[in-house]
Chain A
Amino acid sequence: MTTLDQPQPLVTGTASRDRTDDRRRTAGDTVIRVMIYALLSLGGAVVLIPFFWMLSTSFKATSDLFNYPPQWIPQPALPGNYVEAWTALPFNRFLINTVFMTVLAMFAEIFTAALVAYGFARFRFPWRNGLFIVLLSTMMLPGILTLIPKFLIWRELDRINTFSPMTVGAWFAWGPSFIFLLRQFFLTIPREIEEAAIIDGASVFQVFREIMLPLVKPALLAIAVLSFQANWNNFEGPLIYLSTLEKYPMVLGLQFYGATLSNAAPQWNYMMAMATVMAAPILLLFFLAQRYFIEGLTVGGVKG
């Protein structure tokens, strides 16, 4: 809450000078405020127009795609595009696969990240700070570097073209940023709360589940959204490990779609329809959890 735009009380000066000064400032402020809203609206338009265009295109007839001037509201509007695009490829199957991988990875990832974060935040042990620095520095490690050896490991385990590479690794707390975020939240909770419970004879796991986890709910929700987003959109993993169409997640279907159909004329309306479908759950989740989400997201940057 800055006060940059509000008239500041003058320390010195007569009453009349006070008033003229105030009026001049207020007039200037009005101009500035109008400019602020104008600029913000312009930025908002830049953000929103592509979204609107995606939605609008998804309902258009193929013959209307390139109308000039651009047709903002589709005439006629064809909701049938969604059905046709969905059934042109086995999107039912893609959806099941995506949900399957997302749910498994999310649960293991959040569960282990919370345990590890709790360990780093609350227990003193030798090398703790050193290990935590190692954890932070793994964020810098480019994923592509370890990709080939990881691929070879899964190949040795005979798990190529299975869902396991996208789900099993989540048990090893594979998101260092989630651990970091949760640790920051755990640190803000007063120790007395746990100590009281421990004196009452609660075990570490009880304290963790019944006291600590409920207290960091905003962070858990933020991480749930981020984790959902990352796994739902995971492209690199399926691209490398999956090779049969029936095992593809939606994002690979989308790519397959764009690439194969573009050999003829790209079916932009179908493509936009499927892009909308893929984005819809994430957008919905974001709207539902946005308060927690933004709080959780920003804590790393501010308290870090």
Chain B
Amino acid sequence: MLSWYTLALVDYVVVGVFVLAAMVGLHWLLRRLGVKREAATGYALILPWVLGLVIWNLGPFLASLYFSFTDYNILQPPEFIGFDNYVRMFTDDNQFWNVLRFTLLYSVINVPLGLLGALLTATLLNQDVRGLGAWRTLYYLPAVLPAAATALLWRWMFTENGLINSIFGPVLSLFGVGRPAWFTDLDLVLPSYIIMGLWGVFGANTIILLAGLKGIPRDLYDAATVDGAGRFRKYLDVTIPMLSPTVFYVLILGVIGSLQSFTVAFFIETPRRAGTFMNVYIYQEAFDRNRMGYASALGWVMLLIILLFTLLVFRSSAAWVHYEGEKTNG
């Protein structure tokens, strides 16, 4: 029984000692080679990350590129098949399109809505409200709840006779609409996920945006007042531009995070035809169906999509993100 823990501890200590020894060794080696003390220390200090980059990022990154051109079921060695995986994905895999549509729609709806809600809430919280600390803690709570717990909780609230339908059922019946089946209704899976996602993320965004709002120098507002700007004008001409770098940060993190939703899907049963998140599909292809090659190809498409979205946000940011003074650190 105990031996699992002992084995893990031995691995842990051995690797830890190895990393620290490598740092000391590198420092010594660089000094011997005549590198200045400051640079040698710097390289030694960042060595753990550099090692990690090579072993756990760069290597696997290239390996997955290679696998994406192979047929590989883990038991037999990978067999090179050129672009077949990519061709199959786009021409002969209906579930791929389902999943792609699902993932993109989720992000495209969830991120802007979450941002707007957070912007509104942060603006309200910035009006000298009493008990700001308590409000902040309150709104941040959903971000602290484990994804697994969030998923189970919303699955439970969204059951046919669950809390949501008990509260909103009477309202819906006024319009002659029956009780929605949410996560088990083919058409409502996506909206259900979006509602859950909004609940989970908007509080955290609110806190970050609020910090951005607090950081806007007061004299900018005073200057605008002297110029005769009204409340709305000030919001448009001072608040929005000054807040735009923070909005940008929230937007980038939101896009990257929402495109990679994973855990929640394992705690909620939904109809297969409704589609699921891309990362879940990749996991299923790789570990349930042992198609490592095909899963790698899907992973590369995912990477390209994330890069595309990020690039889009970055490119557009030139037009709407305002950097005060363009100060750089370090």
Contacts and interface: CB of A to CB of B under 8 A. Distances in A.
Interface of A: 1-6, 8, 11, 33, 36-37, 39-40, 43-44, 46-51, 53-54, 57, 66, 68-70, 100, 104, 108, 112, 115-116, 118-126, 128, 131, 134-135, 138-150, 152-153, 159, 162-164, 167-169, 171-174, 179, 184, 187, 204, 229, 232-233, 235-236, 239-240, 246-247, 251, 254-255, 258, 262, 266, 268, 271-272, 275-276, 278-279, 282-283, 286-287, 290-291, 294, 297-298, 300-304
Contact of A148 (B50, B51, B64, B161): B64
25 contacts: A2-B128, A4-B127, A4-B221, A4-B231, A40-B124, A54-B156, A104-B9, A108-B12, A112-B49, A116-B46, A119-B45, A139-B256, A144-B260, A145-B60, A147-B286, A149-B61, A171-B16, A171-B48, A179-B49, A255-B266, A275-B146, A275-B153, A279-B149, A301-B250, A303-B329
B156 A149 contact: no
A229 B144 CA distance: 8
Q: Tell me the dominant secondary structure on chain B's binding face.
A: helix
Interface string B47-59: 0111111011101
Given A163-B4, A298-B211, 11 more contacts: A2-B221, A11-B226, A43-B139, A119-B43, A119-B45, A162-B8, A163-B7, A236-B263, A239-B283, A279-B146, A301-B246
- Nearest 6 interchain pairs by C-beta: A172-B52, A119-B45, A123-B42, A149-B60, A298-B211, A146-B60
Given A1-B128, A40-B135, A302-B246, A46 B199 contact: yes
B90 interface: no
Residues of A contacting B: mostly: helix
B95 interface: no
A269 to B, nearest CB: 10
A31 B218 CA distance: 24
Contacts of A2: 126-128, 213, 216, 218, 221, 239
Interface stretch (B104-112, B186-194, B291-299): B291-299
